[in-house]
Amino acid sequence: MAVIGRRMRRVLAERASAIDPSLGAVSYGVLEHLNRSGECRQSELVTALGSEKGAISRAVQQLVDLDLVARVTDPDDGRAHQIAITAEGSTRLQEVVAARRATYAQRLADWTPDEIAGFVAALARYNASLEQTGD
């Protein structure tokens, strides 16, 4: 598990850097979450990413400064703001995702469809078991 953890941290850092050399893993996580889930309040990002409020605040500000996300008026509360991915943020993230998929396809080129399906099923089962235990 330690090897997987180290590899994940390295991979997230590489993906963040591919979007912008100054980005860190938390900023990348914010960008990815907004792309996947849509705009949300900053407090929701804290909960969704399991990160500290200050780290999320710094990440959002950095992403705003880079025009990768924007603060938009909350439709339910005109006094509040939500964070939304911009077209530029979406484009850069999609470029990283496409490169990541190409890398996975290359690394799995000699796997059979059954091997890939078995791996996906085992990983899904493992992730589900972690969700049940709260890890």
**What's the pLDDT score for residue 133?**
66
**DSSP-based three-state secondary structure for 79:** strand
- The answer, yes or no, to whether residue 2 has pLDDT greater than 60, is yes
Q: Is residue 40 a contact partner of residue 75, using CB atoms and an 8 Å limit?
A: no
Provide the CATH number for the domain around residue 70: 1.10.10.10
- The answer, yes or no, to whether residue 38 has pLDDT greater than 80, is yes
Q: What integer best gives the mean pLDDT of the chain?
A: 92
**β-pair partners for 72:** 82
The C-alpha atoms of residue 48 and residue 57 are separated, in whole angstroms, by: 14
For 47-71, the pLDDT digits (tens) are 999 999 999 999 999 999 999 999 9
**What's the pLDDT score for residue 135?**
55
Write the CA distances from 25 to 29, 55, 81, 82, 120, integer angstroms. Answer: 6, 10, 23, 21, 25
**What's the pLDDT score for residue 132?**
79
More confident residue, 77 or 28: 28
Q: Which amino acid is at 34?
A: L
Per the structure, the complete domain to which residue 67 belongs is given by 2-133
User: Based on the structure, what is the number of domains in the chain?
Assistant: 1
Evaluate if pTM is beyond 0.85. no
pLDDT band at 79 (very low <50, low <70, confident <90, very high): confident
Mean pLDDT of 84-112: 95
- The answer, yes or no, to whether residue 134 has pLDDT greater than 70, is no
